[in-house]
Amino acid sequence: PLFAGAQNLKAEAIVEAQQKSFALALRMVEHAPGPVRTLNLGGGLGIPYFPGEQRLDLAPIGTALGNIVAEAATALPGAAIVLELGRYLVGEAGIYVCRITDIKVSRGHTYLVTDGGLHHHLSASGNFGQVLRKNYPVTIGTRMGEPAAEAVSVVGPLCTPLDLIAERMALPQAAEGDLVVVFQSGAYGASASPQAFLGHPGVAEVLV
């Protein structure tokens, strides 16, 4: 496969990448020792994580792929066209849950300390490819019906300032024992996180 980016919410960019990948494959097949059996056009289809992001429009992507498949039937007979849809398929299907173990106030700001953090969910901490850190959608799962109160930060137990789940985010008033829920956590979670960080317990993955 040819890597052309990830977490893309612009249909035109994905269409262009797939078309160029297909064109490159047609040039390369002229020098291949045998017939092409599989053509992987990669992935890159994103999901909305942050305020202001719009869902990916699949219609133009589907139309363009239809044209590629039709041309491949003649140019690459017998070849299977493959897409990598991991994040797009499962990203919104998972949540990450951790428990508040302590509440601390430092310099007038409240910190909800939890038993989970970047060692469980590196991408939510902002340390998995983000240039500027942004908060994932977060709430207090045990207080879903309550209004947001003060802006607080949610942190983990690790001895690093990078262990940050939510920064200055307006959340319902929380107490020790409450559950913090991070949405959009079905992809790049446990398998993409340093779970052995200084011997802290790993995260449990549960199918519901």
Percent of the chain with pLDDT over 90: 92
pLDDT at 51 over 70: yes
Instruction: Look at the pTM and tell me if it is higher than 0.85.
Output: yes
Residues in Cβ contact with 153 at an 8 Å cutoff, skipping those fewer than 6 apart = 109, 110, 111, 112, 164, 166, 167, 168, 169
CATH class entry, domain 94-195: mainly beta
Q: Which structure tokens are listed for 87?
A: 């994040």
129 — pLDDT class (breaks 50, 70, 90): confident
- How is the chain split into domains, by residue range? 11-90, 94-195
CB 158 within 8 A of CB 118: yes
Q: Check residue 1 and give its pLDDT.
A: 58
Per the CB < 8 A criterion, the answer to whether 178 and 140 are in contact is yes
Average pLDDT, the chain: 95
Confidence of residue 3 (pLDDT cuts 50, 70, 90): confident
- Model confidence band, residue 4 (pLDDT cutoffs 50, 70, 90): confident
Q: Are strands 151-155 and 109-114 parallel, antiparallel or unpaired?
A: parallel
